[in-house]
Amino acid sequence: MGFFGTIFSFFGFGFGISMGLAIGYYLFIYVQPSDVKDPEIKPLTEEDSETVDRMIPEIPLWVKNPDFDRVDWLNKLIEYMWPYLNKAICKTAETIAKPIIEEQIPQYKIDSVEFEELTLGSLPPTFQGMKVYETEEKELIMELSVKWAANPNILVAVKKFGLKATVQVMDLHVFAIPRITLKPLVPSFPCFANIFVSLMEKPYVDFGLKLVGADLMSIPVLYKFVQEIIKDQVANMYLWPKTLDIQVIDPSKAQKRPVGILNTKVIRAMKLKKKDLLGASDPYVQLTLTEDTLTSKKTTVKHKNLNPEWNEEFSLVVKDPETQALEFQVFDWEQVGKHDKMGMNIIPLKELTVDEPKVFTLELLKNLNPKDAQNEKSRGQIILELTYKPFRNEDLAKSFKEPHPTKSPPQGTPPGGGLLVVIIHEAQDVEGKYHTNPHVRLIFRGEERRTKIIKKNRDPRWEEEFQFLVEESPSNDKLHVEVVSTSSRSLLRQKESLGYADISLADVVTNNRINERHHLIDSKNGRIQIELQWRASQAN
């Protein structure tokens, strides 16, 4: 029976398996569940932002937020340069860290701390988007969304009492939104004097930490503790409005602020060439300082005179007497058409002696090319008297002060409060569907103010100032600004919104003054320039 029992059990097992598979296949194909509904399919544009975030958690900011621009070109550039950037960043970090470590070592009685290995790995950071702020100041403000899943290899050796402990940092993940401000913008390379870096929110930081082969971050309590400490420390140092300040060049030298005055007297010209058909000329002189964008100075026109006398004096602002030169050109004035150039020349300011007048008698040239044969032809002469007078030290100190000093609030301002000043400068490209007679409507803490109406103007300019006296700092408040068009001729559509903006006041409370252009919501291309000032109470 044992033999037959084994045979029957084998066939029974095989038959059971076969029947089970057949029944399961039938149920899977022909039996439909009653509690399953067909999914509702909608276009992605009709979904709200929270649903989109759940559906595509890694969607870049330039897709979700129209203020952020796509920066694939920057990611491609960093990808190509990363092997070199990696070495440069590590070298700079090691140079910065060494003196800090040496300063802290005595407090913990450690013999030494050394980097045995320092590399950020082969994976560069990627930028999910960039937001650029348009301001009316000499600055460039950028906010970047940075994600970095790095594979660094950082080995730090700590020696104490003759013993050595090696700590390894690996598998680094960082997500942060830094704000980078380049200011002031200057006319010297690299065209900005300082870099200010701050974080707009607490960064996400995750990494692995090993000590002598043991994974320290596998300890749950230690892992969370280290994570929070790093986030808090980084936030305390660099969370906006706190910044990391890096000076690139000396702003006082880069901006080339005024250092003196050049007094120029145009005395006379002699033996000028005839330019008019009647055998005469109508000369005048144009004066310009090189490396300067200010408007040139011009003498009066001496009609029908080949030996004119002017004896006219001008003052020009000097920023660098070692490199600048006075360029003068003599023109023949024409009532119609372009004025004819009669000749030119230059006088380097380094040829002058401070506070001593010097008279120059110079030949007029066609151009400043010494190899041009046409410069050998006589075009006449000109006589000028120049005097360079540098500023005194106290005058220079005044010129380096903040160009827009913040005034004090009026007397009686409550402690902790202050005065919020709103200056409406102008708007561009505002256009209504039925009429365009814009004025600006301001709402702050329920209080409403309005500018005057400018009729039939897409680029209105108001230059109106409004003041709001508040009892506490408006750091958490927003200013509602709306451009509205009104028309008395249209009975059905007397008012029409041309766009609006809600402006956070946290920036102005921190910086005391900002002057920016804002894109108007519900407007195709409309923008508005608004200057905000915060005058805090002295007791604040």
- What integer pLDDT is reported at residue 74 of this predicted model? 86
Q: Report the distance separating Cα 396 and Cα 240, nearest Å.
A: 33
Beta strands, E only, 308-402 = 309-318, 325-332, 340-348, 358-363, 381-390
Residue pLDDT, tens place only, 145-172? 888 888 888 888 877 767 777 777 778 8
Residues forming beta bridges with residue 149, ordered by sequence position? 173
Looking at per-residue confidence, does 392 or 424 come out higher?
Answer: 424
Q: Give the burial string for 390-422 (b: 16+ CB within 10 Å, else e).
A: ebeeeeeeeeeeeeeeeeebeeebeeebbbbbb
The chain-wide mean pLDDT, for the chain, equals: 78
Residue pLDDT, tens place only, 383-393? 999 999 887 65
Q: Report the distance separating Cα 466 and Cα 452, nearest Å.
A: 12
| The length of the chain, given as a count of residues | 540
Sequence-distant (6+) residues with CB within 8 A of 53 are 59, 64
Most confident of 240-249, 390-399, 526-535: 526-535
- What integer pLDDT is reported at residue 442 of this predicted model? 94
Instruction: For residue 203, say if its preceding peptide bond is cis, omega within 30 degrees of 0.
Output: no
Residues forming beta bridges with residue 287, ordered by sequence position? 297, 328
- What integer pLDDT is reported at residue 15 of this predicted model? 59
Nearest to residue 445, comparing CAs of 423, 467, 470?
470
Give yes or no for residue 1 having a pLDDT over 80.
Answer: no
Dihedral angle sign, alpha carbons of residues 503, 507, 512, 518? negative
Look up the pTM and report it: 0.48
Domain boundary assignment for the chain: 57-249, 258-388, 393-399+413-534
Compute the C-alpha angle 125/127/128, nearest 5°: 135
Residue 81's CB: how many other CB atoms inside 10 A?
A: 12
Q: Report the distance separating Cα 45 and Cα 18, nearest Å.
A: 50
- What integer pLDDT is reported at residue 400 of this predicted model? 43
- What integer pLDDT is reported at residue 499 of this predicted model? 93
Nearest to residue 314, comparing CAs of 269, 258, 391, 262?
262
Residues forming beta bridges with residue 284, ordered by sequence position? 331
The gap from C-alpha 517 to its chain's centroid, in whole angstroms, comes to 13
Residue 287's CB: how many other CB atoms inside 10 A?
A: 19
pLDDT (mean) for 35-52: 65
Percent of the chain with pLDDT over 90: 10
Concatenate the DSSP letters of all residues of 33-102 into one string.
Answer: PSS--PPPP--GGGS-HHHHHHH-TT--HHHH-TTSBP-HHHHHHHHHHHHHHHHHHHHHHHHHHHHHHH
Residue pLDDT, tens place only, 454-512? 888 888 888 888 988 888 888 889 999 999 998 877 666 788 999 999 998 988 888 78
Residue pLDDT, tens place only, 436-458? 899 999 999 989 999 999 888 88
Nearest to residue 313, comparing CAs of 265, 345, 352?
265
Q: Report the distance separating Cα 471 and Cα 418, nearest Å.
A: 7
Residue pLDDT, tens place only, 175-234? 888 888 888 887 667 777 888 888 887 787 777 777 655 555 555 555 666 666 666 666
Compute the C-alpha angle 53/59/62, nearest 5°: 115
Contact between 142 and 130 (Cβ < 8 Å): yes
Query: Which CATH fold topology does 393-399+413-534 show?
Result: Immunoglobulin-like (2.60.40)
Residue 256's CB: how many other CB atoms inside 10 A?
A: 17
Looking at per-residue confidence, does 540 or 71 come out higher?
Answer: 71
Residue pLDDT, tens place only, 313-357? 888 888 888 888 899 888 888 776 678 888 889 999 988 888 889
The gap from C-alpha 349 to its chain's centroid, in whole angstroms, comes to 36
Nearest to residue 154, comparing CAs of 97, 198, 103?
97
Instruction: State both tokens at 155.
Output: 């080995």
CATH match for 258-388 among 2.40.170.20, 2.60.40.150, 3.40.718.10, 1.10.1530.10:
2.60.40.150
Compute the C-alpha angle 430/435/437, nearest 5°: 65
Q: Report the distance separating Cα 526 and Cα 266, nearest Å.
A: 49
Compute the C-alpha angle 456/461/462, nearest 5°: 110
- What integer pLDDT is reported at residue 540 of this predicted model? 42
